């Protein structure tokens, strides 16, 4: 079982979405963060390759955030 938290900042000046998904395993360990883009939450998680095929992912919440926080989450995930 995996858990996801969907973070959403306002769209950029061109109307592009700025959303990301933080993924955690059942023990609470951070597995990764993926940019949602236009794929939607399920599509972003599936395309990320972070979750084994057939694993269950439960989205716990959608949290409004700032663009800076979203960017920082994505940067930290790349550093892992």
pLDDT tens digits along 15-67: 999 999 999 999 999 999 999 999 999 999 999 999 998 999 999 999 999 99
Walk me through the domains of the chain, giving residue ranges and CATH numbers: 2-79 (3.30.420)
pLDDT at 30: 93
- What is the C-alpha to C-alpha distance for residues 71 and 76, in angstroms, rounded to an integer? 9
Query: pTM (2 decimals)?
Result: 0.90
pLDDT at 15: 94
User: Collapsing DSSP states into helix, strand and coil, what is residue 43?
Assistant: helix
Kindly state the tokens that stand for 28: 């609470």
Chain centroid to CA 23: how far? Answer: 6
- What is the C-alpha to C-alpha distance for residues 16 and 18, in angstroms, rounded to an integer? 7
Kindly state the tokens that stand for 12: 């950029």
pLDDT at 78: 85
Kindly state the tokens that stand for 39: 């794929």
């Amino acid at each position: 079982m995996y858990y996801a938290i969907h973070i959403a900042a306002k769209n950029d000046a061109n109307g592009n979405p700025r959303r990301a998904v933080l993924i955690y395993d059942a023990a609470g360990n951070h597995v990764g963060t993926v940019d949602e883009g236009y794929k939607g939450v399920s599509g972003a998680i599936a395309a990320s390759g972070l979750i084994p095929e057939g694993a269950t992912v439960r989205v716990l919440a959608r949290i409004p955030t700032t663009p800076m926080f979203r960017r920082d989450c994505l940067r930290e995930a790349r550093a892992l």
